[in-house]
Amino acid sequence: MNFKKTESGVTFIEVMTATVIISIACVGLLMGIVHARSELHALEVKERATEELLNYMEYWKGRVADGNLSASERAGNPDGDEIFLYGSLGEKYTIKARLYYDLNRLNNATPFGLTSFTRYELECWIKWSDYFATPPSRYSGRVGKERRLSTIMTEFET
């Protein structure tokens, strides 16, 4: 009788195969975590931009309701006001944004007929570039993001 001799244990090839399989799974998990983190960061910045835009719009709604706007304020803000959505002045990692507004006096014609009220259309918007979420490429920093709000305000004569 000729018996085959077997040894218990794990061979080097089996260990290396298991190492390769585990490494591939870890790389996949790591890429998923990095993607999720960048998406969360982009969502955080977008939420912060929306909050700043809402505050800016409320400020200008109050200014219009007050009725004491100068001629330059009625012309809008083509240059924009600079704010920081992430970080602050002098820090290494910051996200700058610009807030703009445009104020237009509307005529007396409405879809429902003529009105004797003074009406204004107030439009506010914010623009920013998020360099953290953008992978390095030739388009880095060129992709701008923007949020817009507008409302129509009416002055009632007292």
pLDDT digits (tens, 9 = 90+) for 78-132: 899 999 998 888 888 888 999 999 998 888 777 777 877 888 899 999 999 876 6
| 95-98-104 Cα angle (round to 5) | 160
pLDDT digits (tens, 9 = 90+) for 37-71: 888 888 899 999 999 999 999 999 998 888 888 88
The residue among 20 and 42 whose pLDDT is bigger is 20
What is the bridge-based pairing of β-strands 113-114 and 81-86?
unpaired
pLDDT of residue 47: 94
Nearest to 50 by CA among 157, 153, 149, 154: 149
pLDDT of residue 142: 66
pLDDT digits (tens, 9 = 90+) for 22-39: 999 999 999 999 888 888
| Cβ pair 80, 125 in contact under 8 A | no
Burial class (CB in 10 A: 0-12, 13-18, 19+), 77: middle
Scanning the structure block, which residue is given the tokens 């591939």? 24
